[in-house]
Structure 1
Amino acid sequence: MAKYQKSLIAVDLSQESSEVIERGLAVSNGCNVSLLHVIEPLTFAYGGDIPMDLSEVQEQLQSQAQEKLHKLAEQHGIKTADCQVVVGQPASEIHRIADEAEVDLIIVGSHGRSGLALLLGSTSNGVLHGANCDVLAVRVHPSE
Structure 2
Amino acid sequence: MHNYKKILVAIDFSDYGNLVAKQARYIADTFRAELHVIHVLDNIPMPDTPYGTLIPLDGPSDDLLLQTEKNKFIQICDAVQIIPANRWLIWGVPQEEITRLSLQKKIDLIIVGSHGRHGLAALMGSTAKNVIFHAECDVMTVHLRGDQ
CA contact (8 A) 2:10 2:37 kept: yes
The answer for the alignment partner of 1:37 in structure 2 is: 39
CA contact (8 A) 1:16 1:143 kept: no
Are residues 41 and 17 of structure 1, via their aligned partners in 2, closer, same or farther at CA, if it must alter by over 3 Å? Answer: closer
Q: List per-residue Cα deviations over 1:44-85 (Å, max 9, x = no partner).
A: xxxxxxxxxx639xx544332221111011111222332111
* Distance (whole Å) between structure 2 residues aligned to residue 124 and residue 61 of structure 1: 25
Are residues 122 and 81 of structure 1, via their aligned partners in 2, closer, same or farther at CA, if it must alter by over 3 Å? Answer: same
* Distance (whole Å) between structure 2 residues aligned to residue 3 and residue 104 of structure 1: 9
Letter in 2 for 1:106: I
Name stretches of at least 5 consecutive residues in structure 2 with no aligned partner.
Answer: 49-62
Q: Which moved more, 1:89-98 or 1:79-88?
A: 79-88
Are residues 104 and 61 of structure 1, via their aligned partners in 2, closer, same or farther at CA, if it must alter by over 3 Å? Answer: farther
* Alignment RMSD: 2.1
TM, length-normalised to structure 2: 0.79
CA contact (8 A) 2:115 2:143 kept: yes
The answer for the alignment partner of 1:27 in structure 2 is: 27
1:111 pairs with 101, 108, 115, which one?
Answer: 115
Name the structure with the higher helix share.
1
1:97 aligns with 2:89: no
CA contact (8 A) 2:113 2:142 kept: yes
Name stretches of at least 5 consecutive residues in structure 1 with no aligned partner.
Answer: 44-53
* Distance (whole Å) between structure 1 residues aligned to residue 103 and residue 117 of structure 2: 27
* Distance (whole Å) between structure 2 residues aligned to residue 15 and residue 130 of structure 1: 26
